[in-house]
Structure 1
Amino acid sequence: MPQITVERSAHLDDVDWEKFALALHPVIVDTAAARPEACKTRVLRSEDEAVGGEREGHAIVNVSIALLAGRSDDTKARLTEAVVELLRGHVQPRDGITLHLSAEVRDLDPSYRKAEV
């Protein structure tokens, strides 16, 4: 915990996603009182996507952060706002492409378990 998934468009191959992840972890630690060593980020590249009725001219990034329950709605909102701002700093606008940047924070299901082996 936190379990972080970044889903991003193939149009954004030039972004240094590892650098983004390493910048994201302290934001989560500071905002949601997580431990740095607990932050785990995966970046997934999507091949196909559509926005409205269009398949071209858009790039999508969604950051999903799953935390153990107990954070207030205000904390979650502050975290998503901070994540979108961090994305703005790492994903530069490009000609002919509309960027769709989003973030969500959700509680992990009570059944969540982990193991380090």
Structure 2
Amino acid sequence: MPHLTIEYSNNLATVITPALLRVANHALLETGQFEEADIKSRALPFDCFAIGTSDTPRGFVAARLAILSGRSADTKREIAQALLAALEAAIKPGTLALQVSVEIVDIDRDSYAKAKLAPNV
């Protein structure tokens, strides 16, 4: 835990990179809420999207962070703001009008299961 999923408009394909995911992971680590090896992130582009009704070049980055339930609203707000700030600083939209959002989603602690498998050496 946590699981970060970044959905984005495909006109940002050169902007959303593994390096950006590492920036996001570092921001999450710096909150002090998560262990380094537990932070998992991935990015999913969308080829078919519409933003508003104008022909103005626009893009979006929507980050959804799934975390185990039990943190206060203030803590979740701090995590969201830290992640948003890191994404804003790292993303260079070029000529696009860009919307960046972060959503924190609670995962029910009682129904979550996880296993750590050691590599075969």
| Fold agreement, TM-score > 0.5 | yes
Share of identical aligned residues, percent?
A: 29
Kept in 2: contact 1:8–1:43 (CA 8 A): yes
Q: 1:114 Cα shift?
A: 2.6
Letter in 2 for 1:99: L
Looking at structure 2, the residues matched to 33 and 52 of structure 1 have their Cα atoms a distance apart, in angstroms, of 36
Q: 1:56 Cα shift?
A: 5.3
TM-score relative to the length of structure 2: 0.84
Kept in 2: contact 1:31–1:75 (CA 8 A): no
After the TM superposition, which residues 68-87 of structure 1 pair with which residues of structure 2 at under 5 Å, given as runs?
68-87=68-87
Deviations 1:76-104 (A, max 9, x none): 11111111111112211322x21010101
Partner of 1:11: 11
Partner of 1:92: 92
Partner of 2:100: 101
Kept in 2: contact 1:2–1:67 (CA 8 A): yes
Q: 1:17 Cα shift?
A: 2.0
Change (3 A) 1:91 1:13: same
TM-score relative to the length of structure 1: 0.87
Kept in 1: contact 2:15–2:93 (CA 8 A): no
Q: Which ranges of 4 or more aligned residues in structure 1 deviate by more than 6 Å? A: none
Kept in 2: contact 1:63–1:102 (CA 8 A): yes
**Count of residue pairs brought into register by the alignment:** 116
